[in-house]
Structure 1
Amino acid sequence: MSESTERDERHLARMQRKKAVIDERIATSPNECGLLLVLTGNGKGKSSSAFGMLARALGHGMQCGVVQFIKGRNSTGEELFFRRFPEQVRYHVMGEGFTWETQDRQRDIAAAEAAWAVSRQLLQDPDVQFVVLDELNIALKHGYLDLDQVLSDIQARPPMQHVIVTGRAAKPEMIELADTVTEMGMLKHAFQAGIRAQKGVEL
């Protein structure tokens, strides 16, 4: 038997064992349930990942909702795109801009509270199957919202509703509640080289 053939057989045996483990795990898992996903960390891609999943949900014909907590009134590519589907996506830009832009804590608190009121409506609607709460972690980090109330509202959502929460510095309590947590790490960013945010990449 050649070395190549032996390697192929070892690979086959290894993959068969792996498949058996995965198949058993799938067989013993609940069929379907609403998930809470948290996308956090200092790296780029948190909102981008959330909106990629939103596009996937849209492709499946789901009713979706988006609330953007911090990002301001300048339209982004994702907003321009998803507003083309008003019958499937309820899109709400509620932020007043990043905190270093507004420089007004009370105004930021009022904006966050208004955004959470809209979020609560989505979280209470059994017809809404997929919700993106973009930069909610930032609003919680700065104390603009009551964490316990936010967690309670998320827990009380319809059982089949998926929720994605994005933003740096996710609270430990949010991470504990989540089903899936991804921390984006930054190895390198164009902004560090003095390159502004680009349409189609950040905008």
Structure 2
Amino acid sequence: MRARPQASSTDAAPTVASTSPITGTNGAAIDSTLTITFSESVNATTSSFTLSCGGTGQSFTLSASPASVYMLTPTANLPANTSCTATVLAGQIHDTDAIDPPDTMAANYVFAFGMVTDTAPSVASTSPISGTNGVAASSTITITFDEPVTVGASAFALACPAGTPVSFTNSTGNGPATSFVLTPSSTLPEGTSCTVTVVAAQVHDSDT
């Protein structure tokens, strides 16, 4: 009798099937977690990946191995207004099956994404509204920003009229907050125009 030839087992090298963020994405959140999905279960360590933003390496923790899906969680928020690049190092990724070779990826996999663009904080609204007449002498003043901010001790100034400082307390504190309430220490003078100044250098957004 003639022996039948045995079919040989074949194996394909592991590959990256998808990533999040997708390569080329713009506007990724600064607290993003990266997800890398492979074509099969693989063994990996933190040394299997690199992450840099604007040319500066970023540290991260890695989800459990082996797995087909890995999550890279940066240990700090990624910097805004920059581009980040993640690299999967082929020689550091090993499939979990016993059919070798191939055992590792054929080539490094690189994906890049842009971070969210951050803008300087600004005043969104005030109460009283600028230019209002007939404001009650006992009024408090509310200043609302377009994002959470922290403020310094000299972030606000109140004068009635211009050039005559009026003392007040900032009942909101230093923040972070979006709205701050200024309470004059005494009744504001009637029949007088008051000016509130927000000192730009004393106002800082609370993101990184």
Whether these two folds match at TM > 0.5 is no
TM-score category of the 2 structures, normalised to the smaller one: under 0.3
Scaled by the length of structure 2, the TM-score of the pair is 0.24
Larger strand proportion of the pair: 2
Larger helix proportion of the pair: 1
Scaled by the length of structure 1, the TM-score of the pair is 0.24
Bigger RCO of structures 1 and 2 (CA < 8 A, at least 6 apart): 1
Q: Radius of gyration: which is bigger?
A: 2
